[in-house]
Amino acid sequence: MDSGGWIVYLCIFFIFFGKILEYTSSYHDRWFANLTLTPEARKLDGQYRSFLLERQRLREENNSISAQDNYARWTKNNRKLGELDKKLNTVRNQMQETNASSKKIFGKIKLIGLTIPFWILKIWQRNHVVYHFPKQDLFPKLMTGVWARGWLYLALGPLQYLRNGALNIHDYVPLGVSLGIWIWALQTTINTLEFLVKQLILTKSVNPPPQKTKPRTEPEVKNLQKLEITDDKVELD
Amino acid sequence: MDLVVEPNLHALINSSTHKWIFVGGKGGVGKTTSSCSIAIQMAQNQPHKQFLLISTDPAHNLSDAFGEKFGKDARRVTGTNNLSCMEIDPSAALKDMNDMAVSQANENGAQGEDGFGGLLQGGALAELTGSIPGIDEALSFMEVMKHIKNQEKGEGERYDTVIFDTAPTGHTLRFLQLPNTLSKLLEKFGEITGRLGPMLNSLAGAGNVDISTKLNQLKESVETIKDQFTNPDLTTFVCVCISEFLSLYETERLIQELISYDMDVNSIIVNQLLFADDDQEHNCKRCQARWKMQKKYLDQIDELYEDFHVVKMPLCAGEIRGLENLTKFSQFLNKEYDPTKDNKIIYELENRK
């Protein structure tokens, strides 16, 4: 790695910060709600929490009593639950409206502070060499070209071959891995690791359903044969 | 001062404003008996007005209840001057529509078996449309529209109040949803015809039908019905139930749905009550046990529907059929049943042959 180390560190920062935001996306609504510290938002949040608690209490109560023995109480609770659901829906919509402006601001900050700078860096420093190869013929010519110039080299390869009659990698000195390819390799590695962790650790295994019916066996067929009417004699109970 | 709600339907029976009265509930709770009783009481208490009882239940019971045959056209109940009945018959109505379509197709030049008329011969339209879900409700709705038009134009028999003996809850709710659904549908359709109106009219030009005018007329009728159905002075719903869990549960569901449609509902008829405490003469242990259970649910009804007219009707010893029995039974809607004084009437019905 040469003196342009700051470029690599900045890229690592962008990639990992983006991943952190991706992993925490389910908590963003709550964060925005906490960040939006207007009295109205706080009031709505309080209302929402109290309605949720009330609904939980009513549900528990209804589950603990017999509807047939306590019909009036059970029905009154159901009516209250119906009203609470309507109220919760209204408050939820109001909260979403309040949070929408915060989300919009956050989206803009993310775009200006993370996405656009990262893209600019990637385009501007795409040919910056992160690693140098010790030897010129360490990889085949085509691969060496891709490492140095990115995937565009692969697309333009046939054209260059037709023009020069061969692939010339001497144009790409110093030979090594460019920033574009290094970022692609890092992101692919992170995504693969993420997939493996999800599949092997976080996803619960699903057991095959228990076999309900036994396969028909020889003795059962024999029993069926026994049920056949063989004579006219009727036995009394 | 607390407002005491009477445990009878006296106010409704003597109401001079109500035009549409729906009677509904779970299957087998006595909807037909209750609707007949309301109709008879209204006819008796307001002799100067005309009443029509319509059955919208595909399994009609009005003919059985009155002991005489009613059909798709309104017919006066024998022994009354101001009460008529009719049973909406989807198959007969669709057959009529089919015949009309056949004659119209033939008039428009399609001759013989080869044309559109030939295609519809043998009731093809009736067979096709008869199997559409909700067709009974749609036809009942058409009947309501017909009556409103008759009243506006002053044509045909004019009825002051129409009482509906409805189908079980699910069908009835679908029927009552129709004005809202149609209104929304016509609104959307109106937007489309506004843009494509001339083209649609040219497509239907052969029959000289102005589609947008027809749609506007239909929309007006639907809006009128919607307004009338949500006006508590004009329309009310009477729930019928028995004092059992499932029936009460369905009644509650019905009431909540009706409230969500902005319909007036403030009366509940609880049928088939045993009143065994006051029937010591016939010491029936099973009746007493069953009455105990009924009382448990009656208490719950009183607690839940304290601002409703909850009418408690007795279980009679015989079938409540025929005008005479229905009249005797129906009096308890106007003035509540007193188990000690009115006990005899329960056994009087038994004697009818």
Tokens of B81: 């001057």
Does A68 sit within 8 Å of B256, measured CB to CB? no
Residue B31, sorted as left (phi over 0), alpha (psi -120 to 50) or beta, turns out to be alpha
What is the pLDDT, as a whole number, of residue A185?
A: 92
CA angle B212–B217–B219, rounded 5-degree value = 90
Mean pLDDT calculated for residue range A89-102: 84
How far is the alpha carbon of A71 from chain B, nearest alpha carbon, in Å?
A: 6
- How far is it, in rounded angstroms, from Cα B332 to Cα B328? 8
Residues paired with residue B83 on neighbouring β-strands, in sequence order: B51
Does A67 sit within 8 Å of B297, measured CB to CB? no
Mean pLDDT calculated for residue range A23-40: 74
Closest CA to B287 of B339, B29, B279, B346: B279
How far is the alpha carbon of B304 from chain A, nearest alpha carbon, in Å?
A: 6
Residue with tokens 């919760």: A88
What is the pLDDT, as a whole number, of residue A161?
A: 77
Does B304 sit within 8 Å of A75, measured CB to CB? yes
Least confidently predicted of A68-77, B190-199, B246-255:
B190-199
Residues of B with Cβ-Cβ distance to A78 under 8 angstroms:
252
- Give Dmax over CA atoms of chain B in angstroms: 78
Domains of chain B, first to last: 9-87+228-349 (3.40.50.300)
Q: Residue B22 is inside which H or E element, if any?
A: strand B20-25
pLDDT-derived band at A237 (thresholds 50, 70, 90) equals very low
3-state secondary structure of A77: helix
Residues of B with Cβ-Cβ distance to A67 under 8 angstroms:
245, 249
How far is the alpha carbon of A45 from chain B, nearest alpha carbon, in Å?
A: 28
Nearest residue of B to residue A77, measured between CA atoms: B304
pLDDT at B25 over 80: yes
Does A68 sit within 8 Å of B304, measured CB to CB? no
- How far is it, in rounded angstroms, from Cα B299 to Cα B305? 10
Peptide bond into A209 cis (omega under 30): no
Which of A227-236, B132-141, B220-229, B324-333 ranks highest by mean pLDDT?
B324-333
Q: Which residues contact A122 (CB under 8 A, 6 or more apart)?
A: A11, A179, A180, A183
Q: What is the ipTM of this complex?
A: 0.76
B161 annotated as a binding-site residue = no
B284 annotated as a binding-site residue = yes
What pTM value is reported for the model?
0.68
Nearest residue of A to residue B244, measured between CA atoms: A68
What is the pLDDT, as a whole number, of residue B121?
A: 58
Q: What is the dihedral of CA A179, A181, A184, A186, to 10 degrees?
A: -70
Q: Which residues of A touch B (CB under 8 A)?
A: 67-68, 71-72, 75-76, 78-79, 82
Domains of chain A, first to last: 1-125 (1.10.287.660)
For residue range B230-280, list pLDDT tens digits in order: 999 999 999 999 999 999 999 999 999 999 989 999 999 999 999 998 777
pLDDT at A182 over 50: yes
* Neighbouring C-beta atoms of residue A187, cutoff 10 Å: 14
Residues of A with Cβ-Cβ distance to B297 under 8 angstroms:
71
- How far is it, in rounded angstroms, from Cα A76 to Cα A58? 10
Residues of B with Cβ-Cβ distance to A68 under 8 angstroms:
245
pLDDT at A223 over 60: no
Higher pLDDT among residues B150 and A12, named by residue: A12
Q: Which residues of B touch A (CB under 8 A)?
A: 245, 248-249, 252, 256, 297, 299-300, 303-304
Q: Which residues contact B19 (CB under 8 A, 6 or more apart)?
A: B160, B161, B162, B228, B234, B235
Does A71 sit within 8 Å of B248, measured CB to CB? yes
For an interface test with A, the pick among B297, B300, B302 (most A C-beta atoms closer than 10 Å) comes out as: B300
pLDDT at A156 over 70: yes
- How far is it, in rounded angstroms, from Cα B304 to Cα B249? 12
- C-beta separation of B53 from B82 below 8 A: no
Annotated catalytic residues of B are: 57
Residues of A with Cβ-Cβ distance to B249 under 8 angstroms:
67
Out of A71, A78, A79, whose CB is closest to B297?
A71
